[in-house]
Amino acid sequence: MKIVFKYTKLGKLKFISHLDNLRVLQRALRRTGIMAKYSEGFNPHPKLSIAYPLSLGVESIGEIAEVDLLNDISISEFVDRMNRCLPHGMLITEASEYLGNQSIPSMVCSQVYLFRISHNDEESVDATISSLNGLLDNDYMIIREKKKKNKIVKKEMNLTSFILGIELINIEMLDIDIKITIHVSDSGSLKVDEVREFIYNSLDGVKSIEVQRTALNFIDKVI
Amino acid sequence: MNKNLFDEILMRVEKPARYTGGELNSIVKDINDVNIRFAFAFPDVYEVGMSHLGMHIIYNLLNSYPNIWCERVFTPWTDMEKELRNHQVELFSLESNDSLKSFDFVGFTLQYEMSYTNILNMMQLSGIPLESHKRDETYPLIIAGGPCAFNPEPLHEFIDMFFIGEGEELLLEVMALYEKHKEGGYSKQAFLKEACQVEGIYVPSFYDVVYDDTGKISKRIKLYDNAPDVIKKRIIKDLNKSYFPDKIIVPFIETVHDRIVLEIFRGCTRGCRFCQAGMIYRPVREKSVETLLAQAELLLDSTGHEEISLSSLSTGDYSKLIELSQALLDKYEERRIGLSLPSLRLDSITFGLIERVQKVRKSGLTFAPEAGSQRMRDVINKNITEEDILGSVKTAFELSWSNIKLYFMVGLPGETRDDIYGIKEMVYKIKDAFFDRPREAIRGNFNINVSAACFVPKPFTPFQWDPQNTVKEFQDKTGYLKREIKDRKISFSYHDPKLSYLEGVFALGDRRVANGMKRAFEMGCTFDGWGDQFDYDKWLAAFKEENISMDFYNSRKKEYDEILPWDFIDCGVRKEYLIDEKEKSLKEITTDDCRVNCSGCGVNTSLVGGPCFEDSL
């Protein structure tokens, strides 16, 4: 049976890389004693995958993973047993059986981040509020460098074309929380640092930015 | 350190999870609830230190006492070191993030000589003076133990007390003593004076060494009358009753060995003459199958690891190996938990076992003939013949292995060109054995990895009086092999002769090499065991500045009556036995395995108080 679950990655766990995150989940599953199905081949590994990588250093309350279990189990039992074995900072908040055939990672269409923008003063807060609407009006070109056979290949792309929407969530004192939804496609997506850089360059009086991933969206219902 | 700065630093360094702590089964206590704060310090990076079984044993043993909190600290990699220095942040433990300065004890484990400069670096990064005499009661006690403590003298200036032998019981005795002193108004000197009475404890500051005009040791002088003349190593008599953790920390990041380790026995009966571990860990003591099965169960449940490794100096010598392995496989095969059997000798019985092991998880095969010619193998008492090795690899090939690793040493005492050429011959014979089979039987991508280590004479071995090869001699030998072994199917690699040479200096050094070490560290030497960090020229310059000759320690043939720097330590093996073994090696005479015939090393009378084995005599 396949189960899709949503989990958090908070605190110190934000310093765990994608591959290490996968290992942490696999080990927690082993500690529960719930058996996963295994892949074939030279080095069989449990069928467990994370929907979309999260940048190192970013916390999340909306990570999605999929596991293929050997035997049927009730969703609540799965969640209970996993949560007892997960390290501090990682908690499954939602889970459901997955009946579809398409793999979860291939269905991700966008990722959502909450940016908490701290300002130096109230003037900057006002300025940010009034400029939010027009933030995506212009192209914002970024350059990515890729190493290809010892050559550095430069690729230029328009950042704003990847941003599907910006939503104002909350204003409190000098902090403004905005939600940014970023397109994910075969040709890739944006990195958190690129968006952070974009905010710093587009707004005035920004003191610091905290980021958290809040959700992943899929082309069909998975959870 | 404030959280923002911590996060900011971590975002800039490689593998930040090396420094965050918070792993499953790591232990956090309230400092108000404990009397003793102990920092277990591993002088290498996190991934290396976390793979070390001894650390997990000591960590959990100390933490099983409510009055003690043991935390961990590893050497920060060079990027993190730079950040710490730039922000003037002191090196901190992983659990409380407190500076090492705030601990009662900082305990270093001495696993290999080339980690010594990291010890100095970790002390400096914590703001702790390097020299023992500069540290008063406000600083932690700096203690050290592990295999390299059997020659503690190169570190005498920096370490307050050494623990000689196995630490499980000794450490607790010292902790109890410390607690008593702390209650009654702690004075470092008073504590050390009482601690040195505990068997296995060596306090270097209570002694001085006098040298003659040729630079050799003429005598040792006691600066504190009650300090013992001889330091006797400690052993755990019954491993079944000794402490073993039921939980071990599960790292977030990949470490060198991500698996649970079952220590099946300590000691070794083979008596290989180059091997220090084979001498200092005597006598052989096995754990029972019941004990090991129970420990495996607890560790697997608490970690979720998917591999069990059986650890010892020679797995195949465990008397109940088949019984234990079958039981582990029967129990865990279904859960896809693999079994790894390092340093296993291959014969018909073990092959059946290995075939079964391979079904869960495939692994490579490693052989350690150590020397290329039979003559040389007799000299070093590696009781294995060419027929043994060829027989084993042929069976392996029939079982469809096509990748094997071979370990050799160069620079062994009395080695000739023929002996070295023997390495090449053996490797090519193995290759022929693969291809001299019916065509349909030859499958797989054949490859042999040959690795040559440079021999380092070690204290408490029959070769402790022998000169080590010079860097030039090593280079000639490895260069010769590199030219001779030219085959697409065989890859040849060798250890850096310069590194091995320096290792020899610290393995065989006395108190005077400490200054060379300190100078090299001041010049920037750290992580010397890491090829990309090792800077031999700096080491040469440091020793020159301090006017210390490296060659005096490792390139000189020593007489049997010379006082060696580590002679005051009693590891249970008598010097007469070592001399006897050395003489036999010159005549190319081998010595039986202790299980076959007691060779009279002295361990039975000095440490065991009776025969080493239940079934002997």
Condensed to tens digits (0 to 9), the pLDDT of residues B517-569 reads 999 999 999 999 999 999 999 999 999 999 999 999 999 999 999 999 999 99
* Minimal Cβ distance to B17: which of A15, A30, A88: A15
Contact B20 A12 (CB under 8 A): yes
pLDDT computed for residue B362 by the predictor: 66
Mean residue pLDDT of chain B comes to: 94
Confidence of residue A77 (pLDDT cuts 50, 70, 90): very high
Q: Supply the pTM of this predicted model.
A: 0.93
- One-letter amino acid identity for B312? S
Phi-psi region of A41 (alpha: psi -120 to 50; beta: other; left: phi over 0): left
| pLDDT exceeds cutoff 90 at B1 | no
Calculate helix-pair angle for B188-195, B167-183, nearest 10 degrees: 140
Contacts of A85 in chain B (CB under 8 A): 304
CB contact (8 A) between residue B10 and residue A15: yes
pLDDT surpasses 60 at B289: yes
CA distance A65 to A94: 11
Q: Is residue A191 within 8 angstroms of chain B, CB to CB?
A: no
- Cβ separation of A27 and B17 shorter than 8 Å? no
Is the pLDDT at B349 greater than 70? The verdict is no
Please name which of A112, A129, A98 lies closest in space to residue A52, comparing C-alpha atoms. Answer: A112
**Set of chain B residues whose Cβ sits within 8 Å of the Cβ of A43:** 361-362
> What's at A7, amino acid-wise?
Y
- A27: nearest CB among B7, B16, B250: B250
Contacts of A67 in chain B (CB under 8 A): none
Task: Give the pairing of strands B161-163 and B141-145.
Answer: parallel
The answer to whether B234 contacts chain A (CB < 8 Å) is no
Q: Does the pLDDT value for residue B347 go beyond 70? A: no
Q: Token match 């082309």: residue?
A: A219
Instruction: Reply yes or no: is the peptide bond before residue B283 cis, omega within 30 of 0.
Output: yes
Q: Which of A175, A218, A210 is nearest to A192 (CA)?
A: A210
Q: What is the pLDDT of residues B196-238, one digit of tens each?
A: 999 999 999 999 999 999 999 999 999 999 999 999 999 999 9
Q: Can you spell out the DSSP letters for A96-132?
A: EE---SS-GGGGEEEEEEEEEEEESSHHHHHHHHHHS
B303 close to A (CB below 8 A): yes
Coarse DSSP helix, strand, coil percentages of chain A, rounded to the nearest 5 percent: 25, 40, 30
Q: What residue spans of B53-187 are helical by DSSP H? A: 53-63, 78-86, 116-125, 167-183
From chain B, the residues in CB contact with A42 under 8 A are 362
Q: Tell me how many residue pairs between chain A and chain B have CB atoms under 8 A apart.
A: 63
A43:B303 CB<8 A: no
pLDDT of residue A71: 96
A81 neighbourhood in chain B, CB within 8 Å: none
SS3 B126: coil
Q: What is the mean pLDDT of chain A?
A: 94
Backbone angles phi, psi at B484, to 5 degrees: -75, -40
Evaluate the CA torsion angle B47, B50, B53, B54 in order and state its sign: positive
Closest CA to B236 of B282, B268, B202, B201: B282
Residue A59 has pLDDT above 90, yes or no: yes
Which chain B residues are Cβ-neighbours of A89 within 8 angstroms? 22
Q: Are A162 and A195 in contact (CB under 8 A)?
A: no
Residue range A130-139, pLDDT digits in tens: 999 889 998 9
Instruction: Quote the minimal CA–CA distance from B368 to chain A in Å.
Output: 26
Contact across the interface for A31 and B21, Cβ inside 8 Å: no
Percent of chain B with pLDDT over 90: 83
Which residue of B lies nearest to A89 if distances are taken between CA atoms? Answer: B22
Do residue A12 and residue B21 have CB atoms under 8 angstroms apart? yes
Q: Of the candidates B97, B98, B86, which has an alpha carbon nearest to the alpha carbon of residue B13?
A: B86
Average pLDDT rounded to a whole number, residues B41-52? 97
State residue B614's pLDDT score. Answer: 66
CB-based contact, A134 to chain B, within 8 Å: no
Please give the distance of CA B345 from its chain centroid, rounded to a whole number.
21
| pLDDT tens per residue across span A88-101 | 999 999 999 999 99
A13 contact residues in B (CB cutoff 8 A)? 22, 252
Task: Give the model's pLDDT for residue B346.
Answer: 65
A200 contacts chain B (CB < 8 A):
no
Asked if residues B69 and B39 have their Cβ atoms less than 8 Å apart, the reply is no
Q: Say what angle helices B116-125 and B78-86 make with each other, to 10 degrees.
A: 20
Q: Name the band, by pLDDT with cuts 50, 70 and 90, for residue B616.
A: very low
Question: A-chain residues within 8 Å CB-CB of B22?
Answer: 11-13, 87-89
Mean pLDDT of B492-516: 97
